[in-house]
Amino acid sequence: MQNEKKLFTTQNMMRMALLSVIAVLLMQFGALKLPMIFPSFLELDFSEVPAIIGVLTIHPLAGFVIVILKNILKVVLFQTNTAYAGELANMVVSLGYILPLSLMVMKKRDFKTITIGICIGIIGLTLAGAIVNYFITIPMYAKLFMPMDAIIGMGNAIYSGIVDKGTLILYSFIPFNLVKGSVVSVVSIIIVKGLQPVIKHFGYHIRG
């Protein structure tokens, strides 16, 4: 199919730009805090949903473009209050989530394959989040905004087992990303099912 062979056609670029704008608006204005469960600096947003839609309606690699554009637009339109650490973490985690789905739909496109790809993406999101936050984001926050002890203290206030950076990752970031990935996946699957007529209009056929 033409859309699947060429990523950067005029129509595809317009669609990716639109989905990127929706994604950045979801990230900027649709983020939810879960303060009774996770530290306040962890926010649940649905900005990966447009990237998944892009993978399924535009091109298997469209999700990568949407994720990158989303974070560029975030900085350009709304600036950064994290010295780019938050945008970097979001980009890495989102790409880890999108990658399995992109690879799987290159070979086969049915609802079962999409669901499996999204579920594997939860694992990718969680692993990517653990790595980038342990080695990059948390150290940057500790250097630029608040002492490491204060960051750990925010986690410890919720669960006393959080006593250092490693346990912060283990008991806050990993569970949070599992929850986020699961919620985003359920929402994405529901939307994909509802958008099947649109997806077929773009030349793709998702079998149940």
Segment 115-141, tens digit of pLDDT: 899 999 999 999 999 999 999 999 998
Average pLDDT rounded to a whole number, residues 68-96:
92
Average pLDDT rounded to a whole number, residues 38-63:
93
Predicted confidence at residue 2, as pLDDT, reads: 40
Question: How many beta carbons lie within 10 A of that of residue 11, not counting itself?
Answer: 12
For residue range 23-36, list pLDDT tens digits in order. Answer: 999 999 999 999 88
CA 48/CA 20 separation, integer angstroms: 10
For residue range 79-89, list pLDDT tens digits in order. Answer: 988 888 889 89
Least confident of 130-134, 164-168, 196-200: 196-200
pTM beyond cutoff 0.85: yes
Residue identified by tokens 């010295």 is 83
